[in-house]
Structure 1
Amino acid sequence: MKNSHFKHLLELTLATCFISTSGVLGKYIDMPTEVLVWWRSALAFIILFAYCRYKTIDLKLHSKKDRLPFILSAFFMGAHWISYFYALKLSNVALGMLSLYTFPVIIALLEPLFIKIKFDPIHIVLGILVLLGIYILAPDFNLENSNVKGVFLGLLSAVFYALRILILKQHVAKYNGTTLMVYQLLILTVLLAPFLFFKDTSSIKTEYPYVLILALLTTAIGHTLFIKKLKYFSVSTASIISSTQPVFGIILAYIFLNEIPTFNTYIGGSLIIATVIIESVRSKKKKTD
């Protein structure tokens, strides 16, 4: 049991690392946001659909009642991605990612309303610690520059992300994580198709290598692996563990975009990592009790 828990925890961390590449790629790729998300969805769908056919993964819906949750989760995933990429464009990778990762607090508050579990006050404490880390990490800004818009869009993206995860949590026991992602990507590809008719799509000619990385590494592998791991952890546990994404993202932004972290980045990042370690130990104890 202990080895199994460690394996799931390691895979969840790996998924978190892959997903964190979205910050650098979303900031770097020069393409209208809605078009970028369409390409991300369409390419990831093709990759995952081919994988399902190769592995003979069942893609059938178990019930017609599942159609609405699938559509809703796809809608919230698209809203999350679009608002998040706008936040990155308006501010920077650090601020965009850090404002997004208030979502563990939102999930901790909403989870008992979606799933029949007892409210755990410790998640509020851990969420506050994450918020404190984010507060320390965030650079100073005034109310008249675009950073404010970036923060608000990041927070809005956090709400969308939390709702998507909570909806999915009710269905991961019945479906393979890859199946869930395939349907979401297909639905989102259809929903965003109209943007191709009135947005500039010509930049795909030069940006396609980075879009492909975003579709394959960040989306097809990262998000699918994260969804698969939800069945082994509570949503609150998984989301707090994934709060290391801003730390990974800031490191990648420093390497590839020359966004130099400040002293506050190290302090706030350390606080977030400490919170993740606390929750990891707690979740392991629950699994072994």
Structure 2
Amino acid sequence: MQTRHALLAIHLGAVLFGLTGVLGKLAQTTPLMITCGRALFAVLALTLFARLVSRGSAQPLPMRRLLLLALGGILLGAHWLTFFHAVKISGVAIATLGFAGFPAFTLLLESVLFRERLHWLEFVVVGLVCLGLALVTPHFEWASEATQGLLWAVLSGLLFSLVSLLNRVSTKGVDPVQAALWQNLTIAVCLLPFSWSVLPTVSAMDWLWIGILGVFCTGLSHSLFVASLRVLKARTTSVILALEPVYGISIAWVLFHERPTLSMLAGGALIIFAIVLSSRHIPKAKATPSA
């Protein structure tokens, strides 16, 4: 893959990641069903991709590694559930921006779990994210749907940070597509018993949105991310993926008339700036597939 094609691939991946909240709102079913269906379709897409592209690179994994990947799948499923719940409560913009602050959690958790000293610039990043989140919510009241949605989105970001840190240990030396496949399979297996009774109530249109979410926004976007990393530096992909909230909010603005306030735009700009800052200037910054 040439550099030009890799840049196009990662930009397309960022757009697909940004569509996650939009499709979650379009699907008129429960967050549990959306998460389960997304995982099922992602398993199909990743299996096909593994057969076509990653043939021969996947190796048998020891039981300990499989258990770690399964734990990562459980955390990833919880991240999706809380994110889609935030979308349903407060809309795409607040949910996407609330989740986008996950790099701050990652920096803090890395310093605690891996005993890595924080660089002064990392404190700046955490401060910018916190300030951005404070600006995102129109008014901080516990009874407000916007506040509740933001809190669920922040929890979603925390869970995704845990997934990222666990992947740092569990996916080392493992084919990325194989790791994603195992994690999505875990989500599907865990949630299918709870979603079984809801299956007959899901409309054909909702299955279409969930299918797009699983195949394109999960399977294809992850595959594009993996393919682009073979050509581009992780920092480059991180900066491009930071545009995910921009794409998501813009599409939601057009489709649902969710017009963000100036305060939300300012908060979002601070969060995105913090992500770019951490990707460009902090030595240990790593790109990670998003929502």
* Range of TM-score over shorter length: 0.7 to 0.9
What is the 5 A alignment of 1:1-289? 14-55=12-53, 56-115=55-114, 117-199=116-198, 201-226=200-225, 229=229, 233=234, 242-282=241-281
Q: Which runs of 5+ in 1 are unaligned?
A: none
In structure 1, how many angstroms separate the alpha carbons of the residues matched to 2:65 and 2:144?
43
Residue type at the aligned position of 1:211: I
Q: Say which SS state the counterpart of residue 139 (structure 2) adopts.
A: coil
Distance change (3 Å), C-alpha of 1:39 and 1:257: same
Distance change (3 Å), C-alpha of 1:7 and 1:54: closer
| Count of aligned positions | 282
Distance change (3 Å), C-alpha of 1:8 and 1:95: same
Deviations 1:256-278 (A, max 9, x none): 11111222233233333433443
How far apart are 1:136 and its partner, in Å? 2.2
Contact 2:122/2:282 (<8 A) preserved: no
Residue type at the aligned position of 1:156: L
Contact 1:244/1:272 (<8 A) preserved: no
For normalisation by structure 1, the TM-score amounts to: 0.83
Residue type at the aligned position of 1:260: R
How far apart are 1:167 and its partner, in Å? 0.7
Residue type at the aligned position of 1:251: S
Q: Say which SS state the counterpart of residue 155 (structure 1) adopts.
A: helix
Deviations 1:227-255 (A, max 9, x none): 67599648xx9778744432222111101
Q: Which runs of 5+ in 2 are unaligned?
A: 287-291
CA RMSD after TM alignment:
3.2
* Higher mean C-alpha deviation, range 176-185 or range 223-232: 223-232
Contact 2:242/2:276 (<8 A) preserved: no
Deviations 1:7-33 (A, max 9, x none): 978765553332121111111210122
In structure 2, how many angstroms separate the alpha carbons of the residues matched to 1:109 and 1:193?
34
In structure 1, how many angstroms separate the alpha carbons of the residues matched to 2:156 and 2:243?
17
Distance change (3 Å), C-alpha of 1:115 and 1:201: farther
In structure 1, how many angstroms separate the alpha carbons of the residues matched to 2:285 and 2:131?
26
In structure 2, how many angstroms separate the alpha carbons of the residues matched to 1:134 and 1:243?
15
Identical residues among aligned pairs (%): 26
In structure 1, how many angstroms separate the alpha carbons of the residues matched to 2:104 and 2:224?
22
Contact 1:44/1:216 (<8 A) preserved: yes
Distance change (3 Å), C-alpha of 1:14 and 1:112: farther
* Higher mean C-alpha deviation, range 255-264 or range 225-234: 225-234
Distance change (3 Å), C-alpha of 1:134 and 1:280: same
